[in-house]
Structure 1
């Protein structure tokens, strides 16, 4: 395995701005927002950079920093399941190039309406604020500047519209092509802007004026392929700068005419074209070679990992759902903590909650967490049955399935006696905790003085541990609970700090 170090190799991309009304929702039918051709690629195609042969070092695993954007109120996130389908497709498109991507550190959630639906300046601000070093910074938003997606050379990041991602949509692969130096197959024709402006009955111009230079248009016989358009000789001539659909034979329905008056058909398979997702499928070999060489130039100074990655998927057979127990009736109506075990190989977990046992349609909640517990305090109704399930996800192998579906019924009492602000400031970990392991109660900068009193109570209501009078100062709390004498099972940890109460459910495992 190779770790990843990124240097800026691209010229700043000029973003394509498409007008959208304030009421119009992004549908995913607009253009890619990248229009450049990098200096690195120009040098590579001119023979100034050596060709790179694949070695026997195996797959290069490149870490992604994935930022999921939503509106200020936390709505409009992309479904984690659809994201995993998109990541699986991305990796399948790059597997034969010995490149695979993985999410490092789990998904990052950002609530910002400004960034979720942004123009070029706001998008640049977003990347400047949230980019992490040595990762492929990726942002999934509602509307990326009116495009399906774009690569920002200036910020070295990829921004994707969530409506253009999924198990059949190759926008991500297209933008990663830009990330690794590839231009569009129709490079130069961006300046024409509309397919309707192409005169199908007359020869194409010998050049098109684009980005301050005359770009040769590619001839159908490929005789000028090294200097025309994208500079690759195994990509077909392509003048189509708008999204287009293919016929049953996989070509643009109309023939085009090159500068020598030769008619030709444009095949639709190339991921770097603007053919619709149902038409595209792959890169050409020269495109693959260029991307691999670019990747090697990026990571040539990387350190070599001491051990290969663990490619095993997280097995749902190892999942244990502790709480709520199946068909449990809860006391409170407005708060529930779901707790499960740490599954071997799992890097994060997909959690779903619904009011029916059918998760195939609209689902009440689908989210991810790096923890083994998730507490819901909003959107719950009294005396209502809910269904929940967990899917563990490994870092390098995101395949897998959901575990069993459990159900619980909400109670009638409110948690109004629980201090919400203090409850959010106190961390109790690990949970679940192995018997004999120390359970930590941590709270920083609580701005409280007085004492901490707490009790550990088993499911039968018996007080197993009772501690009183632990000093609390303004800097916070740091307490350790020895679980060595607690049998495996579920417990309630009730804490009082000064005159404020909080409660947590904990699980002790064998």
Structure 2
């Protein structure tokens, strides 16, 4: 494992950052020259302060139990939908990205974890509308956390897939540009002070910029073009391009595949040889398509910035990985849900060490439990969920126990298929019944429930109780007087479980769910 206390003992100081105008952003990444310049200035300051930062880290390590040297970094994912709540990234996308990011940063002994998934319904932010989007983001930003806003799919006319904004200290990405985690790993590199390996070549390609079959002396932003030479007179890797000497010269702002076949020559006409390709095409901060790693000096820079931001003070979250499986309570497999005017309640038993529960509800074809592709997702902290479902339809549901660090290894309950009552024929407008309340709820099995009613006039009524399979387990007729009244409902013959009380009067229904416990 990469340990902070094994850091380098000598630090290379960056030359003062040059000032330059903002250039057009590349399609892959919208983090501009200007934004990267801010990061490089912070990088230089972190290197200057490295002895103090490392001493602070050592002191913090000594206060931890078992000398835990992991740096825990909380992320707030802002899940952006249109104004009507549609079109947001799926929870699966966010969780898969977190797992991929943690894999990419694992050798730094860094653990990113989800502190919060914040839901934002804003069409302006969904399409990242100029000016307005920044205002909406500022209303939702959580100070002290890494804020990642995931908007809608890539918008035609824009020239980026994602970017880091240092003035606001947040990351924005389109939801169809983040698969595999490489995009967010790249933007997090910017967040923690790293520039592109080809810094200074944005908007400029070797084929058109080279003169006499060699690279120019200066890049597109006025920064010196990096040379091949290392450890000798003429070396400029400390201040040219990205400021790292273990990333080879990179003149490919247009990126490339997984191989390097170009014949580039640096400003001294020295050939960039194939032996230097690996840290180039595999580097997260390049535009090659095989990005999987950072160099040692890049890792050191990231860790120094984490310390300077105070991330090393974060204690390990109480729950990183769930080790239990939730058990579905209601509705069970094959169940029928009677109509209920305040929505449908789903309930499950808690799983051991769960940070949150990811509830998936899918519409299925009748009597087959085959999903139709219509899916709803919910992230909740408790063990129940109320939601609106269509009457007379078939569904299935499952609950996944999530850990904060590694949600890709979740423990999911088996699917349970159920159907909803055809409410359109069972429910009429309740005019005769002014109010109805059932309490206490939950109640101990065998104990009485109290039904409080207020009716407009005297009338006959029926009171039925259904179990969670839709079976009627109790029925009685009532004579109701006008006005307020209390009725005692016996449960002595009912075992613990979920039930529905159905009160019917003059063609009108009122459904009240209740729970009996042992």
Looking at structure 2, the residues matched to 134 and 501 of structure 1 have their Cα atoms a distance apart, in angstroms, of 51
Q: Closer, same or farther in 2 for the Cα pair 1:313/1:12, shift >3 Å?
A: farther
**8 Å Cα contact 1:435/1:484 also seen in 2:** no
1:251-400 equivalent positions in 2, closer than 5 A? 251=260, 253-264=261-272, 265=274, 266=277, 267-276=280-289, 279-299=290-310, 302=313, 305=315, 309-316=318-325, 319-332=326-339, 336-352=344-360, 353-355=362-364, 357=369, 362-377=373-388, 380=390, 382=392, 384-398=393-407, 399-400=409-410
**1:259-291 per-position Cα deviation (integer Å, ceiling 9, x unaligned):** 011222553100011112xx1110001000111
Q: Which of 105, 117, 127 matches 2:127?
A: 117
1:412 aligns with 2:422: yes
Report the equivalent of 1:425. none
Looking at structure 2, the residues matched to 301 and 81 of structure 1 have their Cα atoms a distance apart, in angstroms, of 28
**8 Å Cα contact 2:97/2:178 also seen in 1:** yes
1:416 Cα deviation from its structure 2 partner: 6.0
Looking at structure 1, the residues matched to 300 and 237 of structure 2 have their Cα atoms a distance apart, in angstroms, of 16
Report the equivalent of 1:219. 227
Looking at structure 1, the residues matched to 330 and 298 of structure 2 have their Cα atoms a distance apart, in angstroms, of 51
Report the equivalent of 2:64. none
Looking at structure 1, the residues matched to 43 and 500 of structure 2 have their Cα atoms a distance apart, in angstroms, of 61
**1:167-222 per-position Cα deviation (integer Å, ceiling 9, x unaligned):** x24111111111111111111222x3456644486211111252xxx311111234
Q: Closer, same or farther in 2 for the Cα pair 1:492/1:197, shift >3 Å?
A: farther
SS at match of 1:216: coil
**8 Å Cα contact 2:71/2:312 also seen in 1:** no
Q: Closer, same or farther in 2 for the Cα pair 1:57/1:331, shift >3 Å?
A: closer
Looking at structure 1, the residues matched to 47 and 216 of structure 2 have their Cα atoms a distance apart, in angstroms, of 24
1:66 aligns with 2:77: yes
**8 Å Cα contact 1:138/1:159 also seen in 2:** yes
Report the equivalent of 1:241. 253
1:503 Cα deviation from its structure 2 partner: 5.1
1:109 Cα deviation from its structure 2 partner: 1.7
**1:362-416 per-position Cα deviation (integer Å, ceiling 9, x unaligned):** 45333433343333425x362x322221211122342223211111123212386
SS at match of 2:193: coil
Aligned residues: 433
**Unaligned stretches of 5+ residues in structure 1:** 1-9, 20-28, 420-427, 437-454, 471-482
SS at match of 1:104: strand
1:26-41 equivalent positions in 2, closer than 5 A? 30-35=28-33, 36-37=36-37, 38=39, 39-41=41-43
SS at match of 2:147: strand
Report the equivalent of 2:139. 129
**8 Å Cα contact 2:500/2:511 also seen in 1:** yes
Of structures 1 and 2, the larger Rg is shown by 2
Q: Closer, same or farther in 2 for the Cα pair 1:205/1:133, shift >3 Å?
A: same
Q: Closer, same or farther in 2 for the Cα pair 1:196/1:494, shift >3 Å?
A: farther
1:47 Cα deviation from its structure 2 partner: 7.1
Q: Closer, same or farther in 2 for the Cα pair 1:486/1:104, shift >3 Å?
A: farther
Report the equivalent of 1:422. none
1:417 Cα deviation from its structure 2 partner: 5.3
1:231 aligns with 2:250: no
1:434-473 equivalent positions in 2, closer than 5 A? 459=467, 460=472
Report the equivalent of 2:12. none
Report the equivalent of 1:445. none
**8 Å Cα contact 1:63/1:104 also seen in 2:** yes
Looking at structure 1, the residues matched to 324 and 132 of structure 2 have their Cα atoms a distance apart, in angstroms, of 41
Q: Closer, same or farther in 2 for the Cα pair 1:504/1:339, shift >3 Å?
A: farther
**Unaligned stretches of 5+ residues in structure 2:** 1-16, 62-66, 431-437, 446-462, 477-482, 486-490
1:140 Cα deviation from its structure 2 partner: 0.9
**8 Å Cα contact 2:339/2:511 also seen in 1:** no
1:117 Cα deviation from its structure 2 partner: 0.9
Looking at structure 2, the residues matched to 99 and 130 of structure 1 have their Cα atoms a distance apart, in angstroms, of 25
1:8-23 equivalent positions in 2, closer than 5 A? none
Normalised to the residue count of structure 2, the TM-score between the two structures is 0.71
